[in-house]
Structure 1
C-alpha cells in the first residue's frame, strides 16, 4: 500500500473521535447562515415574500457533501472496528483515538496491553488500515 494512502487513512482515524463534533458544527453553519449585508439603502422590499429557510435548511443538510462524507467515514470505521478482535481494537484506540498518544506498538506489547508478538501487532494495524482504506474507496493502482 502506498504511504500516502496509509497517511490519509491515519489522518481520518485521528479525526474519528471528533467526527460527531464536526457534523454538528457543519449543521449549525447551515442552519444559521450569516446574512450578507444589505447595501440597498432606500430600496424597496417585496411585501408578501415569506422566507422558506426551514425547508431550505433541511434540504441543504441532507444534501451537504461534507456532512455525508463525515457520516460515511464514521460508518466505515465503525464497521471495521466491529469486525476486529480485542488486540486490534486496543492497538487502534491507543495509536489513533487518544488525544495524547501514550503508547507505541512496542509500548503496548511491553506493558502487556496486547498479547501478540511485535510482527503480529504491526500486521493487525496494517490490516485494519487496509480494510478502512478499502471501505473509504482509497484504492491502490497496480502497475
Structure 2
C-alpha cells in the first residue's frame, strides 16, 4: 500500500505528540521527586530538636529503666536516619574546624594551635551529602 501525503503528515504529528507526552511525563516525574526530596528534608530538619531532646534526656537520666527505654528509642531513630541516608556530624575533640560542616559558637584563646574543636554543643546532620544542620562547636583561636 502506498501512503499519501496526508497520511504521512498525520503519522508525523502522531509521533511528535507521543514524544511531547513522554517529555511531559519525564518533567512531571522530575518535579514530583524534587518536591518529595524538599518535603523529606524539611520533615527531618523539623525532627532534629526531638532527637536533641531525647539524647539530652538519655545523657542526664539517672534511672536505668528510663535510660534503657531512651536507648532503644534512639537506636530506632538512628536506624531511621541511616535508612534515609542521613549522616550525623559529630566532630571529635581537637578535630580541625571545617566551616562547611561546623558552626563556631564559642572560641577560647590558646597559645598552641588554632581552629581546633574543643567542644561539641550540638550535632550536625547531612542528608544525601547536603548539609541539613551544621554542628555547633567551640573552637580554639590564637
Q: Quick check: which one's helix share is greater?
A: 1
Highest CA radius of gyration, 1 or 2? 2
**Bucket of the pairwise TM-score, normalised by the shorter protein:** under 0.3
TM-score by length of 2: 0.26
Q: Higher RCO, 1 or 2 (CA under 8 Å, sep at least 6)?
A: 1
